[in-house]
Amino acid sequence: MGLAQDYVAACNVLPISPKASAALSRRCLQIMLHDHGYKSGDLAKEIDLLLNETDPKRGLPQRLYDVVDGIRNFGNFSAHPITDKTSLQVIDVEDHEAEWCLEIIEDLFEHFYVGPAVAKAKKTALDAKLKAAGKPPSK
Kindly report the CATH number assigned to the domain that includes residue 43: 1.20.120
In a domain, 113, yes or no: yes
Which sign, positive or negative, has the C-alpha torsion 24, 30, 34, 39? negative
**Ramachandran quadrant class, 83 (left: phi over 0; alpha: psi -120 to 50; beta: rest):** beta
Number of domains making up the chain:
1
The answer to whether residue 138 sits within a structural domain is no
Its domain, for residue 108, covers 3-132
Q: Give a yes or no: residue 139 inside a domain.
A: no
> Tell me, what's the pLDDT at 89?
57
Dihedral over alpha carbons 13, 14, 18, 23 (to 10 degrees): 60
Answer yes or no: is 137 within a domain: no
Q: What is the pLDDT along the chain (139 residues), one digit of tens a residue?
A: 699 999 999 999 999 999 899 999 999 999 999 999 999 988 889 999 999 999 998 999 999 999 998 888 877 766 655 555 555 554 677 899 999 999 999 999 999 999 999 999 999 999 999 999 999 999 9
Whether residue 35 lies inside any domain: the answer is yes
Phi, psi of 90 (to 5 degrees): -65, 135
What is the pTM assigned to this prediction?
A: 0.83
Query: What pLDDT sits at residue 71?
Result: 87
C-alpha radius of gyration, the chain, whole number: 19
